Structure 1
Amino acid sequence: MKPIKITTIVFLTILLMNSTVGKAQTTANISYTVSFPDAQAHYADIEMHISGLKQNNLDLKMPVWTPGSYLVREFAKNIEGFSANINGKTVASPKINKNTWRISSKGVSSVTIKYRVYAFEISVRTSFVDASHGFLSTSGIFIYPANMLHSPSTITIKPYKDWSKVSTSLEMVNNDPFVRHSPNYDILFDSPIEVGNQDVFGFDASGVKYEICMYGGGNYDKERLIKDVHKIVDQEAAVYGENPNRHYVFIVHNHLRGGGGLEHLSSTVLGASRDAFGTEKGYQSFLGLVAHEHFHLWNVKRLRPIVLGPFDYDNENYTTNLWIAEGFTEYYQEIIVRRTNLYTPENYLDQIAVEFNTLENLPGKDVQTVAESSFDAWIKAYRPNENSNNTTISYYNKGAIIGMMLDLEIINDSKGKYSLDNVMRYMYTEYYKNKKRGYTDAEFKKGFEMFAGKKLDDFYKNYVNGLTPIDYNKYLGYAGYKITDELANSNDATLGIATATTAAKKVIVTAVTRGTAGYIDGININDELTAIDGNPITDASTMLNDKKPGDKLAISLIRDGLPVNLTVTLLRNTRVKYKIVPVDNATPAQLAVRKKWLSL
């Protein structure tokens, strides 16, 4: 069925795009037919028909990125065999830039376009086709007419051989599962399509129909999944006070080793390991992924930074607020699962401690702010290199920690009257529902301050736009907890490098951590370590046995085929391993915050 809020979104999208395009947009009738004659060779064939044209030139464009995954991926690179046909004749359709084809359409009312898409990249954000199924990540499949992003379209799927099912949030036309309708391109590009023989089951949650579509098999328990996912859905809807859908689809790809997720307006795509559902660790990890991507139904897909919609599909869409959009979602994925009682408070605190350790053991925490991490996602987050840990952080990770800090601050300062939930619901209601637009950085800050009951200028200066070390004990202390470092008394020596051993038993340096012995004394990425103090290196895990901080090592290595000798002075390993533990004699006020925070 059509989601409840789709009409509002479509109307807003049309208004905003009409105000930015600067000229009247053409209304046309657009349809696609998708077939898979060479599915075994990883191709989807697309036939696009456009009628009602009234312009001299028709530009056809392929998006360069997909919303939710902040990297220009150049989907046009996968297109081949592009051709245009008018009145039964092939006409010129030159490519005028990397993702645009131009057709002369003066005096022409309709045109048919054909092209093929090579789809052989397994991820939640890219299309994949083989003889077993077709996954269409729609922003990398469907070309659109320039200046017609508001136009509706119809998509007809012609399945390969015995494929019998289509899973997507796009509504059916005349109850035909192989014919779907999209109100506009923002919705089409936000509605992935799974075609094949996937296992489909589901449940109803307060009138919303949920489908779970499993491809690839696996040792999952359907009834347990239905029960537990239902709990997560209910807890997340309670944060915002409503579920804005009538139909929601989980598309799950189960592989030998899989992971990751990508949110969409009324669906999500999840990657999972098919045999991991049978262990509590694997199952809880999957539930965390479900909670994360489903929480995006509100946070990002509706409550969003102002630049993230309507989208520019030709260029990067920059924001400094991914620490809210993704980081808060990561925070909520764990707290939501805790609220369902699917794991204990201790499990939850262990998850938070992992977030602390991840951040604190990154040298990049002293280089990149979380606002900068958000803004530079397009050039850094999805393109890590051997030096990334020294210069960057994750807006997921630090954003989740900031979410926890603000949640505890608000609960404490309001004496349990408010929490971060109140901020999220207020912002959703005020900006998505009432103002029908995204928020600015300043507006979200005001939302925090409204429920914290005070200005947060210093908080933003220190933790959002600055590099001030986080005072974990201050915020955990509100709930009667503190951190302890299990490695505080360790005196282990380290070179500060990571290595990999090749099939030929060569020990190759793969990373060098800033400020460590290897970094200071000149070990490089790709160096082959051959000997320490004249002793050949045969096992990287034992090469520092019996060594201590302050020891000087004569290291022999090969760099670019030439021998190099270095003297390296070992330093103490400064890594931390925090654990969250209760303080002694917690006060009634601290216990009240704890109860509110952990849903005890």
Structure 2
Amino acid sequence: MVRGSSPPGSPPDPPRAMSRPEDPDAVTILPLSLFAALTMPNPIAEAVDVTPVRYTLRFPNPETHYVEVEAEIPTDGKDAVELFMATWTPGSYLIREFSRHVEGLLAKSPGDEPLRVEKVRKNRWRIASEGLDRVIVSYRVYCREMGVQTNWVDSSFALINGAPTFLSPADSPPRPHEVAVELPSTWTRSITGLPDAPGGSPNRYVAENYDVLVDSPLYAGNPSVYEFQVDGIPHLLVNEGEAGVWDGPKSARDAEAIVRAQRDFWGSLPYDRYVFFNLLTEAGGGLEHRNSTVLMTSKWATRSRPTYLSWLFLVSHEYFHTWNVKRLRPVELGPFDYENEVHTRSLWVAEGITSYYDRLFVRRAGLCSVEEFLAGDPPRPGSGDDRAKSDIERLQETPGRLVQPLETSSFDAWIKLYRRDENSANTSISYYTKGAVVAFLLDAEIRRASGDSKSLDDVMRLAFERHSGARGFTPDQFRAVVAEVAGIDLDPWFERALQSTEELDYGPALDWFGLRFSEPDDAEDGPSADDHPAKGWLGLDTRSEGGRLVVSGVKRGTPGFEAGFNVGDEILAIGALRVPPDGFARRVGLYRPGETVSVLIARREQLMRLDATLGQAPPDRWRLELNPDATPEQVARRSRWLGE
């Protein structure tokens, strides 16, 4: 999924997460999963007509943001055929109601006779096929969401994802799905991870089943394409929107270095072609697919070291999913129910462990320094951060770590991670963030228990060997692999890390790798307290809104929380002195911890005063750095960890 994406509500962490809800009235769609389709024969499929579903995509007026879809749907001679559209897309755990963008659905016979269409559910249509062997369905889809999970069409290019685009027969045996693309005259090519359809015609593709179709985004436009080969397998970096600014050759070289580093880790490449769709659209995020990924970033990212590092981490994250998620997956993630939530407690493995390895492989590929690796994710534009922060820092700054266990964060992804509000930091944590921290600690624990002969690397490879087939792994099976590799029972460790809200113990990992948390900026050897007196602090997040200073976040345990500030309060003055919209933190810093101030606010147009006793900002105590006093043994262990 999307490390670095921004789900609604601007979560602090990406957004780089089963049993189905009990609904007696629900009609469950369970297309054969990609994994089963690739690994197991299906006698039902062999016994019926497997005439493909055939789609044609047209863009007659792309500037209006529409794709027109015509679908030839086999009916197997039924009197009625029911079509469905997915409500979510694998890798992004939110019901997105894609059918809301479908317009003007019509059906006809192959002889152009109109057929009756009835919408029977929010995402289902029933066609009166009257015993015909196939029907022709046409509809339009509005495509103007610049997201890796959705569709975008404008005059310059199109990104078409499967779930929000293709209607498919419900309750149908697995069958191929063919896609033909009719390009506008100003576009030169289409690209997808799907293989070309037989016959050699351009812009025609075939998916062996619906799961593969949904898992294969399609781009059309005028891209800059860079190809490199690893083990004789072609890899494409497809850049949309370079604009003479993005450094295409450098980004292709570095993507290749990441591919090679991860190939060395896993031992081989599990596909015959791979596509990096890199959309330079001033958006953000990434989403993994079986042999491709969609990335979004700024065209200026190669001009700035922090933003380029963010892109490298994103490439590494989504590419690692080629193994961890797309082939080695929690048991609940396939076969998919595309119409209902699919809950799992193992997204800390799927996303958290991937988040741990994404930066590690950028380091192992030689694309960042040790200091850059330890510093963590560079600040995202508009995030309010002024420097890189590690997952440990982000976790320890989130009060929700004391409220929500890691496995619960995974299970509740559908209702929490992508539906964040101003109180989310107080009540929840991200399975990306805490999952990555737990992976780091687990790696050190395995190395310590095995005398540095084994690591989390070995766990992932053995888990892939054991559980990357048709079924996937259960939580108990993944823990069993860890115990086998480590040579010790880690169940009590897992219970604390995954099922409780106890603070994590960083000491053993720091000691093993020769790391430490840096000293706060106001360390004893710094300037004297007389020269730099402590500054007052309320701990409020604020933003400027049309020239108004507005509270945007109130974390538990801060003076602002205790004083009763609310999100949405407009701050007008401290005492009798007005506070400029861009100078609140600076003004509060002119007071001293322990002083009480009277703050004039406007709440829903009513003026009131709040008395707040100022505190002192907590020290920056969670920044990782190399321990200058590390022993030769610690340095050697750290070097092996970093692949030096």
Deviations 1:343-388 (A, max 9, x none): 1222212228621111111111111111111111111111111111
Q: Look up the equivalent residue of 2:617 and give its one-letter code.
A: N
Segments of 4+ moved more than 6 angstroms: none
Deviations 1:496-528 (A, max 9, x none): 21111233x321111111121111121111111
State whether structure 2 residue 80 is matched by structure 1 residue 46: no
Name the structure 1 match of 2:539. Answer: 496
Please state whether the residue corresponding to 1:236 is helix, strand or coil.
helix
Please state whether the residue corresponding to 1:108 is helix, strand or coil.
coil
Q: Look up the equivalent residue of 1:493 and give its one-letter code.
A: G
What does residue range 42-121 of structure 1 map to in structure 2 within 5 Å?
Answer: 42-51=65-74, 53-86=76-109, 87-121=111-145
Tell me, yes or no, if the aligned pair for 1:149 and 1:186 is still in contact at 8 Å.
Answer: no
Deviation at 1:7, TM superposition (A): 8.9
What does residue range 18-37 of structure 1 map to in structure 2 within 5 Å?
Answer: 27-37=50-60
What does residue range 380-459 of structure 1 map to in structure 2 within 5 Å?
Answer: 380-433=416-469, 436-459=470-493
Name the structure 1 match of 2:7. Answer: none
2-structure distance, mates of 1:394, 1:149: 38
Name the structure 2 match of 1:156. Answer: 180
What does residue range 173-184 of structure 1 map to in structure 2 within 5 Å?
Answer: 173=197, 174-184=199-209
Q: Look up the equivalent residue of 1:572 and give its one-letter code.
A: Q
Deviations 1:91-114 (A, max 9, x none): 211111100001123422110000
Deviation at 1:597, TM superposition (A): 0.8
2-structure distance, mates of 1:330, 1:309: 22
Name the structure 1 match of 2:401. Answer: 365
2-structure distance, mates of 1:562, 1:585: 58
Deviates more, 1:532-541 or 1:372-381: 532-541
What does residue range 20-419 of structure 1 map to in structure 2 within 5 Å?
Answer: 27-51=50-74, 53-86=76-109, 87-148=111-172, 150-173=174-197, 174-218=199-243, 219-255=245-281, 257-351=282-376, 354-419=390-455
Q: Look up the equivalent residue of 1:84 and give its one-letter code.
A: A
Deviation at 1:425, TM superposition (A): 0.8
Deviates more, 1:464-473 or 1:121-130: 464-473
2-structure distance, mates of 1:7, 1:571: 55
2-structure distance, mates of 1:102, 1:25: 22
Name the structure 2 match of 1:10. Answer: 37
Deviation at 1:158, TM superposition (A): 0.4
Q: Which of 535, 549, 554 is the aligned partner of 2:593?
A: 549
Deviations 1:62-99 (A, max 9, x none): 00001111100000000000011124221211111100
2-structure distance, mates of 1:97, 1:123: 26
Deviation at 1:240, TM superposition (A): 1.6
2-structure distance, mates of 1:487, 1:354: 17
2-structure distance, mates of 1:60, 1:351: 46
Tell me, yes or no, if the aligned pair for 1:44 and 1:129 is still in contact at 8 Å.
Answer: yes
2-structure distance, mates of 1:63, 1:152: 17
2-structure distance, mates of 1:579, 1:501: 29
Deviation at 1:263, TM superposition (A): 0.3
2-structure distance, mates of 1:72, 1:139: 11
Name the structure 2 match of 1:510. Answer: 552
1-structure distance, mates of 2:292, 2:438: 27
Q: Look up the equivalent residue of 2:271 and give its one-letter code.
A: N
2-structure distance, mates of 1:349, 1:100: 49
Tell me, yes or no, if the aligned pair for 1:60 and 1:145 is still in contact at 8 Å.
Answer: yes
Which gives a bigger RCO, structure 1 or 2 (Cα 8 Å, sep 6+)? 2
Q: Which of 509, 522, 529 is the aligned partner of 2:571?
A: 529
1-structure distance, mates of 2:89, 2:500: 30
Name the structure 2 match of 1:519. Answer: 561
2-structure distance, mates of 1:564, 1:274: 46
Q: Look up the equivalent residue of 2:505 and give its one-letter code.
A: D
Q: Look up the equivalent residue of 2:104 and give its one-letter code.
A: G
Tell me, yes or no, if the aligned pair for 2:279 and 2:297 is still in contact at 8 Å.
Answer: yes
Name the structure 2 match of 1:3. Answer: none
Name the structure 1 match of 2:514. Answer: 480
Deviations 1:249-270 (A, max 9, x none): 0111002x22210000000000
2-structure distance, mates of 1:564, 1:105: 67
Please state whether the residue corresponding to 2:226 is helix, strand or coil.
strand
State whether structure 2 residue 636 is matched by structure 1 residue 592: yes
Please state whether the residue corresponding to 1:220 is helix, strand or coil.
coil
Note closer, same or farther for the CA distance 1:316–1:56 as it changes in structure 2 (3 Å cut).
same
1-structure distance, mates of 2:38, 2:451: 41
Deviates more, 1:386-395 or 1:70-79: 386-395
Deviation at 1:288, TM superposition (A): 1.2
Tell me, yes or no, if the aligned pair for 1:153 and 1:184 is still in contact at 8 Å.
Answer: yes
Deviation at 1:162, TM superposition (A): 2.0
Please state whether the residue corresponding to 1:45 is helix, strand or coil.
strand
Tell me, yes or no, if the aligned pair for 1:488 and 1:576 is still in contact at 8 Å.
Answer: no
Tell me, yes or no, if the aligned pair for 1:482 and 1:581 is still in contact at 8 Å.
Answer: yes
1-structure distance, mates of 2:35, 2:331: 16
Tell me, yes or no, if the aligned pair for 2:102 and 2:140 is still in contact at 8 Å.
Answer: yes
Structure 1 gaps of 5+ residues are 1-5
- Aligned-pair identity (%): 35
Deviates more, 1:66-75 or 1:561-570: 561-570
Deviation at 1:9, TM superposition (A): 4.6
Tell me, yes or no, if the aligned pair for 1:26 and 1:54 is still in contact at 8 Å.
Answer: no
2-structure distance, mates of 1:208, 1:401: 34
TM-score, length basis structure 2: 0.87
Please state whether the residue corresponding to 2:312 is helix, strand or coil.
helix
Tell me, yes or no, if the aligned pair for 1:149 and 1:185 is still in contact at 8 Å.
Answer: no
Structure 2 gaps of 5+ residues are 1-32, 378-388, 524-532
Tell me, yes or no, if the aligned pair for 1:25 and 1:147 is still in contact at 8 Å.
Answer: no
Tell me, yes or no, if the aligned pair for 1:268 and 1:293 is still in contact at 8 Å.
Answer: yes
Deviations 1:181-232 (A, max 9, x none): 0100100000000011111121110121101111112433333223221111
Deviates more, 1:448-457 or 1:187-196: 448-457
Tell me, yes or no, if the aligned pair for 1:34 and 1:44 is still in contact at 8 Å.
Answer: yes
Note closer, same or farther for the CA distance 1:357–1:11 as it changes in structure 2 (3 Å cut).
closer
Q: Look up the equivalent residue of 1:393 and give its one-letter code.
A: I
2-structure distance, mates of 1:488, 1:442: 46
Deviates more, 1:228-237 or 1:242-251: 228-237
Deviation at 1:415, TM superposition (A): 2.1
TM-score, length basis structure 1: 0.93
2-structure distance, mates of 1:543, 1:442: 53
